[in-house]
Amino acid sequence: MTIEETLQIALDAHKGQMDLDGKPAILHSITVGIMGDNGVEIKAGFLHDVVEDSDLTLDDLRRKGVDDEVLAALELLTHDKTTDYFEYVHRIAHSGNYTAIHTKINDLKHNLDRGRKSNKKAKELNDIEKSERLAKINEKHQKALEIFGYMPLYDDGRSRDGQPVPMFSRSFSSKEGVR
């Protein structure tokens, strides 16, 4: 299946869905896909939320012709809500499936980036309730990134010890593995 065909599945699956800021949800999936390092990661990125956020199942995607390598990553990336979120993230981190690992890291990075921007805007608008909700979501995403070995950062770009550090200061390659 081509990247374009995979993107079309994601476009159809997320049609009409909006994120917390009222933007089309597909923009997140497109961004995560574009962050991929190769065709398989791009496809997995485009489809990473399809099973969770639409009526499509992994079997539906298989019948549509989605590649087995992409399906294996999507099986790991699909969060069964009966499983604790951090258990789910640990399962991906220690799976050995580098497509799933890289896609989840890209997903978390983008979620945290847009969450921080949304939180800043909510604070500027004095929307305390939204700001508090976003702060909790951002903290969850940051803790999940820590599982993959990324340094903990706060909204002001400082680590927990107060030192300035670059955003997502640890690079990850498939050769390194995950701690």
How does pLDDT run across 82-127, given as a tens digit for each residue?
999 999 999 999 999 999 999 999 999 999 888 788 778 878 889 8
How does pLDDT run across 11-44, given as a tens digit for each residue?
999 999 999 888 999 999 999 999 999 999 999 9
Q: Can you give the pTM of this predicted structure?
A: 0.82
CB 145 within 8 A of CB 104: no
Domains and CATH numbers, the chain: 3-147 (1.10.3210.10)
CB 59 within 8 A of CB 51: no
